[in-house]
Amino acid sequence: MTLYNDDALRVLPALEMGSVDAVITDPPYCAGGASPISRGVAAAHKIQDADSRTKYPLPAGMSRDQRGQLAWMTLWLAECWRISKENGVLLLFSDWRQVPLFTDALQAGGWCWRSTVVWDKTIAARPNKGYFRHQAEFVLFATKDAWKPPTPVCLPGVFSVPVNPAEKNHLTGKPVRLITALMEILAPSTLVLDPFMGGGAVPRACVETGRDYIGVEIQPDIYARAVEFVGRAAPLFNVG
């Protein structure tokens, strides 16, 4: 396992072509508003939970407009495609606003979009008075060219997993149990790449399922939290 405190667009070009089996990542959604003013508001202020607004470091890269987001995502998704082996898998998190842009970006990066998986955050998700609860996020499933499934099992298309407060250490952190369930699409022994490691849910799931991992996180304070979180399960790993 190797963790980098650096910019993904600096690390990815240095990784070997065809060297990883899967990319599982939760990039900045940049879904905060339609105007430069609303996009410039810190991401934490758009979260209804007052505790979350003050408890976690603010993620970087949340103020791009749609055109900037598409260009930026195409760059690193193309690098991920290059680094992935044949039969490689991409699992890309998105909220409801960004699904059209994210699917354009992954296809522009060379990936074959195959399906959309729903993460049901359950009724613990934040309510919206007068209209539908924002209860779901999405995982875009794509592959590198032709793909042969490693398992004959029919996997769920909806995963109902609440956020676990005991392991949450990032403003938009995902449950480790969810990541572990999604990894059922992979062969047992695989190398997973995550260009936006955040609080460390993906590397922690890799440790718990016996997989190797390469992770990148640009912010030192968030990186330190991820290292501590992963270190509870894997005290020995490389720091890039």
Q: Which sequence spans correspond to the domains of the chain? A: 2-239
The set of residues, in sequence order, having a beta carbon less than 8 Å from that of 157 and lying 6+ positions away, is: 115, 117, 118
- Predicted confidence band at 146 (pLDDT cuts at 50, 70, 90)? confident
Burial label for 53, CB within 10 Å (0-12, 13-18, 19+), is: middle
Question: So what CATH class is 2-239?
Answer: alpha beta
Quick: pLDDT tens for 200-217.
999 999 999 999 999 999
Query: What is the percentage of the chain residues whose pLDDT exceeds 90?
Result: 64
From 8-12, 44-48, 124-128, 166-170, the region with the lowest mean pLDDT: 44-48
* C-beta neighbour count of 237 within 10 angstroms: 16
Q: What are phi and psi of 213, to 5 degrees?
A: -155, 140
Cβ atoms 9, 73 nearer than 8 A:
no
- Predicted confidence band at 41 (pLDDT cuts at 50, 70, 90)? low
- pLDDT the model gives residue 93: 97
Considering only residues 60 and 187, tell me which one the structure prediction assigns the higher pLDDT.
Answer: 187
In this prediction the pTM is: 0.88
